[in-house]
Structure 1
Amino acid sequence: METYLGAPTLFCLFQYFFFFKRCSLSMEPQNHTHFSEFFLLSLSDDPDLQPLLFVLFLSMYLVAVLGNLLIILAVSADSHLHTPMYFFLSNLSLADISISTTTVPKMLVNLRTHSKSITYAGCLTQVIFFPLFACLESLLLTVMAYDRLVAICHPLHYLVIMNPRLCSLLVLVSLSISLLDSQLHYLMMLQLTFCADVEIPHFFCELSQLLKFACSDISINIILMYFIGAILAGIPLSGILYSYTRILSSILRVSSSGGRYKAFSTCGSHLSVVCLFFGTAVGVYLSSALSHSSSKGAVASVMYTVVTPMLNPFIYSLRNRDMKGALRKFVRRSFFPL
């Protein structure tokens, strides 16, 4: 079962690195804007709140990174967790770390230095990587729903169907689709020209916010952005709903209440994370569409960029006996070897 772990996760890291290097090399010559920096208005202009916000977001960021890193290390170290479900979970934790790291450190630097500026290259980096990791998380949650479908509906054939080759392929396909989505956002950004001071009412560079400050024609950009968003949000949500419809139907056919509880408990953590991630993401876009308030959208975005990655490790560790045991063994071996 060792082949479930290691190679795909390392492959993801190398892909992220080379993709970043390629994009950073192409940022300079293709910069069509008249400005070298933008301004992020953050969450509050009140100087008295800046230290409090800095401490709050630094704490949440550290909890998110350390919690997800612990899950990755515990899954890698415990041979009992070298299964498809935990293989996908370790990749989900990597995506969670990446989502927070794309947005939060720059916000912390600005809060600490009382600055609002971000370079064009830095803004473009966030436009590239935030959709990459958000899309990857969405697709991984869909893959995990399929994994739970096979485990509950076809338990006798589970290890045959969810073999290491298929698991690795599912992660690589998810990463490839996410890279394609990120590249499209990058190309859309390069077509924009900005001929006025750009003050983004957000704590990170989001393409939908940047489009409001473009002085070039953005009609194609808007159509393409919503078309891509509808596909990459609609298909995963449809896949998850289909999987859980089949799962619920299978559970209801179980005669004993104990059997039904045991079957449903195997996907309880995943369902909680799905509701948290998609619920907050949909809530952000619905609130921004109904209220037309960019500041409210920025505050709501904190939920799926910071809060959700922070809570995911707690959801999986508190609701999962195997994960709690693996974490205890990993901490005991790492910090108390004697």
Structure 2
Amino acid sequence: MATGEQVKALVRSFSAGDGEHFVSVAMQIASQAARTGKEKLAKDLRDLVDEIKKQQSSGTLTRPVPIARPSGELAGLLTVSYPKTLLSEMVLSEEVEPRLKRVLREYRHQNRLREHSLSARRKLLLVGPPGCGKTMTASALAGELKLPLFSVQLHGLITKFMGETAAKLHVIFESMHETRGVYLFDEFDAIGSNRGAKNDVGEIRRVLNSFLQFLEQDDSDSLVVAATNYVEMLDDALFRRFDDVIEYVIPTPEQVKALIENRLSSFGLGRIAWTKVKDVSAGLSHAEISRACDDAAKDCLLAGKSKVTTQLLVQAFSERSRGGTIRL
């Protein structure tokens, strides 16, 4: 059996993301099991190690990510979460879904691509109106790849002192090398605005220049996701620095129906007059539709009804149409 020191070594190597040491310790335990007559255990351990090595060589297994908790200067620049969201939980357009799946496929096989001097898509720019799933996409990418999601805090990043913001940006990009994850720059137009704009500020221009330089030089294993509602404000030089620019739009009537069925899957749906529901939901974002579904479900429960009806949905969507925009 494994000694206490070997168990601790396994835990330490897993936490540090040291796959080679993890495999080495596992082989030591297998050898010790063979010497003490536990041949079946030794064989099972060797088979598991061989499978890990096979997956590593094929690019289908990446090294584990250590538990991340921003500290020191990073504590004021990043927040971290560990999303469990999956792409299958989102209702995406026919244009967006295959592009995100390609990002996942390339990332999972990045070792194989590197063997042929090719790079996986890692730098994404998401554009579109509020509430259409840009931020949720970052969560889904992190959830699919089992990576931490680091959200950049703009209030901690942008300062009035010359050179300080660029220095903080450098710290964030250094973190991308040290801790693999999905790094989200939400409301990206705050630092990516056009350098030729009339209200251009010298310090922000320097920040954008630094960002362009850091992004171009970044060769980490992290994903960089920038999201903005105002694509027209972005500097032209940004677009060629990203591996892919993905546009999000207001959901179509077919997507509205899919969103409602997906959101209310745990509740009973009565015979829905979809034409009426689609009419009253026209122009609403994914986030607004999701919140309206939640409102209809709560009204259903509080009224003691067994199924969500057309009337409840129409009422919920009408209230949302009269309200403000909700971000997702």
Tell me if both proteins adopt one fold, taking TM over 0.5 as the criterion.
no
Q: Normalized per residue, which structure has more helix?
A: 1
Compute the TM-score of the two structures, normalised by the length of structure 2. 0.24
Compute the TM-score of the two structures, normalised by the length of structure 1. 0.23
Rg larger for:
2
Q: Normalized per residue, which structure has more strand?
A: 2
